[in-house]
Structure 1
Amino acid sequence: MFFKKERQFAFSPVSGKVINLEDVNDDVFSKKMMGEGVAIIPDEMQIVSPFNCTVTAVLDSNHAIGLTTDDGIEVIVHVGLDTVNLKGRGFKCFVNEGDIVKVGDQLLAFDKDVIEAEGYDTITMLVVSNTNSKQIVIMENLDLAKAGQTKIIEFI
């Protein structure tokens, strides 16, 4: 008897307009140096978990967070371009390394006004930093995504 493997998805970590990673105004992301993924122009300032996983990295600047699923898929949620330079100003983290989170659990919050007043973009990237031998399929025909609800990447 054959068992069909359950499809696995990453949900949007933030609500907003979905764009191709190639269209991000930063070579590290647009040239996929960190990995395959998507970008979202946020219309809310809450970052949530894209799947059930473990928090594996929280940067001191709170602008990015690393997550790993039980079967080894590793992702980075990165808020903004060059926002590491803010050294945490305008960001608040709600989790610690080692925490287990579920889809939709709040991870970070950011203050768009503070970030943009300093001249930084708040575009948010969801990047798969390893493929874990799985094919990564970006969901097609996405325009607007809802945090924790819109399927944004499928792992096959």
Structure 2
Amino acid sequence: MFDFFKKKNKGLEVEAAVDGELIPITDVKDDVFSTKMLGDGYAIKPTSGEVHSPVEGDISTLFPTKHAIGIKTKEGLEILVHLGIDTVELEGSPFEMRIQKGDHVTAGQILGTMDLKQITDSGRDDSVIVVYTNMDLIDSISPVQKGSITSGDKVQTINFKKN
């Protein structure tokens, strides 16, 4: 009867990390991601090398090779932003980061840039993959709608399990 007093949980909205073509994580050409071994999420075939934070949170990890960034949200969700496939082998050369471990970032904030041409010229895939790595916190994730997307556009909504 008094349900209108209860605060509705709208979930965590996850934004596009880059401009490009949005695809489901299951379409990524790497089994570690496509089989959701690391967790669920999405991928974007980028048209721009500017990488933005998909959520508000704290930078929990920044790999020395700059190819992957970990962000922890206030809900405790760990999000991995992985820049390209097998780009660890490029030892950081196509990446310039504007953040460091411990920084607080807002959704849409620029994390850094990636040189798409350098990545593809090396024979590697430049897809940006966003993975939710601690799936045990998640109750549901909205499906990915394939198509053209701009950084900052809403990609998915995550609903967390009740405590």
- 1:74 aligns to what? 78
3-state SS of paired residue (1:152): strand
**Whole-angstrom distance in 2 between the partners of 1:137 and 1:94:** 29
Q: Matched residues in 2 for 1:10 and 1:136: separation?
A: 13
State the Cα distance separating 1:146 from its structure 2 match.
1.0
CA 1:144–1:119 in 2, change beyond 3 Å: closer, same or farther? same
Contact 2:77/2:132, CA 8 A, preserved across alignment: yes
What's the CA shift string for 1:16-73, capped at 9, x where partnerless? Answer: 1011111111100011111001110001101101111100000011111000101101
TM-superposed CA distance for 1:134, in Å, is 2.2
Structure 1 moving runs of 4+ over 4 Å: none
- Correspondence for 1:151: 154
Gaps of 5+ in 1: none
Match of 1:13 among 10, 13, 17: 17
Asked whether the equivalents of residues 73 and 132 of structure 1 are also in contact (C-alpha less than 8 Å), the reply is no
- When normalised by structure 2's length, the TM-score is 0.90
Identity of aligned residues (%): 32
The match for 1:83 is: 87
Q: Write out per-residue CA displacement over residues 124-148 of structure 1, whole angstroms, 9 at most, x where no aligned residue.
A: 1010001352224234434112112
Checking the alignment, whether the CA contact within 8 Å between 2:17 and 2:52 is kept in structure 1 is yes
Maintained 8 Å contact 1:65/1:76: yes
Contact 1:37/1:138 (8 A) holds in 2: no
How many residue pairs end up in the alignment? 155
- Show the 5 A alignment for 1:51-66: 51-66=55-70
Q: Which protein has the larger Cα radius of gyration, Structure 1 or Structure 2? A: 2
Cα distance in structure 2, aligned partners of 1:24 and 1:141: 15
SS in 2 for 1:9: strand
CA, structure 1 residues 34+11, in 2 after alignment: closer, same or farther (shift >3 Å)?
same
TM-score (norm 1): 0.94
Q: What corresponds to 2:29 in structure 1?
A: 25
* Aligned counterparts of 2:33 and 2:49: Cα–Cα separation in 1: 21
Q: 1:28 to 1:100 in 2, by over 3 A?
A: same
Instruction: Provide the residue aligned with 2:43 in structure 1.
Output: 39
